[in-house]
Each structure stands twice: as structure tokens, then as C-alpha cells.
Amino acid sequence: MNFKKGSIWSIGVLSVIAGCLLLPTTTRADVVTDWNARAVQYASTGGRPGPSWVLDVAVVQVAIYDAVQAIEGDYQPYCGSIPGATGSVVAAAATAARDVLVARFPGHAAAIEADYSLYMIGILPTDPGIDVGHAAAECVIDLRSTDGAFPPPPVTPFTGGTLPGQWRNTGSGNLSFPWMGEVTPFTVRSGVQFSAGPPPRLTSPEYTRAYNEVKNYGVAGTGSSRSTEQTDLAHFWNGNFPGQFNRLARELAGANGLTVSESSRLMALVDVSMADSAITAWADKVRYNFWRPVTAILLGESDGNPKTIGVPGWTPLVTTPPYPDHTSGANSLAGSATRAMSLFFGTNEMEFTITTTNLTVVTDPLKQVRSYSKFSEVRDEVVEARILQGIHFRFADADARKQSEHIAQWAHAHHFKPAN
């Protein structure tokens, strides 16, 4: 595979509100990326808590991957082989995606079926690829049917604790999906295989440095040590991470002229890496139950560390999410997705641009797009951004980045490998 480097590829804004995300319904430039866009749209608007919808998109992508590979045979199947598979790869991939989406989002079934019907115009209803898609979807749906994701209500929310260092409700709600860390992963052996170590002790020099850093750089208002450029960075990376990285992967697939078979592998690798990283991060969040900066800084006088001076009324630049600090979910998604892309393309060097999804705050067109020449530059920025936003300690970001890179490497080494 010859992948392009040295050109700027524009990564557009992901909209999860309306159908503007969708390609024209009869366009089949790449059935894999077409249905990835649809999967992101339906999953992100399907009422899932937090970023847990990364699980839905991962299921869609492995079903598409298996449907494509059953016919193309370039890479090893994920769920199972489909003997005698033949027919249109477009029909196979679209049918697999449709079946999974309808199964997971029955409330959107009519819209999904309408998309599918329009997409299949020109393909005979007797095309054997349709049966291939059904078989691929059925295998993956059955495989994930007991994975522990999205248990029926009522789900008891995770409320944390009240001791120094323990996470507790910050006013934005409780962790309403504590089951996330117990979901069966897609590639790694368990949600604790790549678990990070515990956060540093409250009296340690590492914690003291991280505390004072976020206190000074992450505070809202004029008292912050942030530069204008740092504030811009913080707002840029306050958005829809799973959607952003799916969009990036789709655009890079098109820009590099990937075949449908190659696209199926890229998208599956990116999405299962993000899913497994999210599972791992949430397992750590519940295990370590570590408080967020907004709580730590308000209670700094009672943490037993004389070098962490509390600040009454301290407020972060952006609203703190309703779940514990360690490890960072955003860095888990960014680290795994960009590492998966670099492994797929065989290089860390790739010039591209990314557009923020936080357009309600980043209104200056000149600040809505950032350019990169390496995948690792994105990971570097997201580590810094979550500190500048005032919602994470540096160790939570750094540990999440490290563990998510390991997860992407594991997925690449153990799954979606060449058939020969």
C-alpha cells in the first residue's frame, strides 16, 4: 500500500444533529466510510450516556469488516468465517451495518431502513452479498449480546466517596454508566490488562506539581496563567472526540486512496481501539475513584498536603464531566485512535488538518482548524488541553495516553491481520 504524505487533507466538521453528515444516498465511493458516517450519526444521537456510544460504532465496524473480508479475503475475520461468500461487497457491507444499527437502535429503525433502501438502489434484492451481510451482522450481534454493555434500567449510578482524594458529585451529575469498565473488550483480554497504576499520593511531589499546574492554568476568568493560544487550544479540544476521530479516519482513507478492503480494516482498528480504551479508562475511573481538580482545589486545605493551597470558589474553564479523573477518557480516545491510524499507515508522519466540533465557542474561522504533520502531535495537544480546561490532572492525561497507545498496538498485533 502506498500512502500519501506531504499534503494537507482537510478534515471537516462533524455534525451529529442532522443528516448533513451523510453522503448522497446513492454514492458508493467507499461503502465502509459511508456507513461509518451513518453509524456515528445514529449512535451519537441514540441517547447513550457519555461517550459510551463508541461501543455501538465498534460493533458496526467489525460487522462491516467481516462482511467485506468474507468476499475479499485480504484479512483474517474478526468474528467468524462465512464459507462460500460471494456477491456485491457493497451489498454485504451496507447490509451488515444496517442489521447492527437496527438491532442496537430500534427507535431509529425507520430512518435506518430508509437510508439502506436508497443506498441499495441498483443492487438486485437477490444479490448474494446481502446474505453475507446478514451472516456477518448476526455473528457479531450474537458475540456481543452478553458483553455487559447498556444493561437494562434501573442502573445504580456511581457516587464516589467523601474522603480526601475521592471523587464526588461536582454539580454536573453522577457517573450514570459505571458498567462501562466491566464491558467485555473487543481485542484486549480484559478491561484491566492495560490498567494504569494508581494516581500519586496526595502528599507526593508529583501530585503537588499537577495540582498547582491545573490550579493556575485551568481556572476560568482573568486570574489564569493561560496564554491566549492556550485558551484557544483548550476550547478547540472540547468537543465530540469519537466523532472527530472517525471523521479523520474516513478522510484519510479517501485521501490515501484505500480500497474498500483496506478501509474496512482501518475503520475496524480505529473503532475497536477506541472502544477498548474507553472500557479500560472507565475501569480505572471506578477502581481509583480519584477526585477532579474542581473538588481537589476547593478542598485543598484539607488534603493533608501543606503545599496544595485551596482556593474557595475555584472554577474550571469548562464544565467538569460527571465521572472520576483517573484516567482521562478524552486522552484514551485520542491516544488509541491516532496510534491505530499511525500503525495502519506504517508511519507517525501524516499531514492533515482537523476542524473543531466546538463551534459554538470557537467562532473565529481562523481558529477552527489546526494543522498537523504527525499523529503524535494530536496526542500531545489533547494532554495539554484537558489541563488547560481545568478538568484533569496531568498524570490522568499522561497515563491514559500511555495505556491507550498500548491498546491500539495490541489490537493491531492480534487482530485484522493479513490472511496470508
Percent of the chain with pLDDT over 90: 91
Nearest Cα residue to 270 out of 223, 338, 326, 211: 338
d(CA 97, CA 103): 10
> What digits encode the pLDDT tens for the residues 132-161?
999 999 999 999 999 999 999 999 999 999
Domains and CATH numbers, the chain: 19-414 (1.10.606.20)
* Count of Cβ atoms closer than 10 Å to residue 218 Cβ: 28
pLDDT for residue 27 is more than 70:
no
Is the confidence at residue 2, as pLDDT, over 80?
no
Query: pLDDT for 156-209, tens place per residue?
Result: 999 999 999 999 988 888 999 999 999 999 999 999 999 999 999 999 999 999
Give the separation between CA 316 and CA 231, rounded to whole angstroms: 12
Secondary structure element (H or E) that encloses residue 68, with its range: helix 54-72
Q: Would you state the pLDDT for residue 181?
A: 98
**What pLDDT does 21 receive?**
38
Q: What DSSP line would sit under 227-265, residue for residue?
A: -HHHHHHHHHTSS-HHHHHHHHHHHHHHHTT--HHHHHH
SS3 63: helix
Is residue 19 over pLDDT 50?
A: no
Q: What is the pLDDT of residue 268?
A: 98
Of 325, 298, 294, 317, give the one whose Cα is nearest residue 309. 298
Q: Grade residue 18 by pLDDT with cuts at 50, 70 and 90.
A: very low
Q: What is the pTM of this model?
A: 0.93
Task: Provide the pLDDT for residue 115.
Answer: 98
CA–CA distance, 360 with 71 (Å, rounded to integer)? 44
Has residue 11 got a pLDDT over 90?
A: no
Res 17 pLDDT > 70: no
Model pLDDT for residues 359-393, shown as the tens digit of each residue: 999 999 999 999 999 999 999 999 999 999 999 99
Query: Is pLDDT of 55 > 80?
Result: yes
What integer is the mean pLDDT of 38-65?
97
Checking if the pLDDT of 108 tops 80, the result is: yes
Give the model's pLDDT for residue 36: 98
Over residues 91-104, mean pLDDT: 98
pLDDT at 317: 98
User: How many other CB atoms are there within 10 angstroms of residue 66's CB atom?
Assistant: 30
Give the pLDDT confidence score for residue 12 in this predicted structure. Answer: 35
341: its cell numbers: 491510524
3-state secondary structure of 12: coil
Segment 253-306, tens digit of pLDDT:
999 999 999 999 999 999 999 999 999 999 999 999 999 999 999 999 999 999
Residue with cell 473543531: 356
* Averaged confidence pLDDT in the chain: 93
pLDDT at 6 over 70: no
The pLDDT confidence band at residue 29, using thresholds 50, 70 and 90, is: low
Rounded CA separation 245/202 (Å)? 34
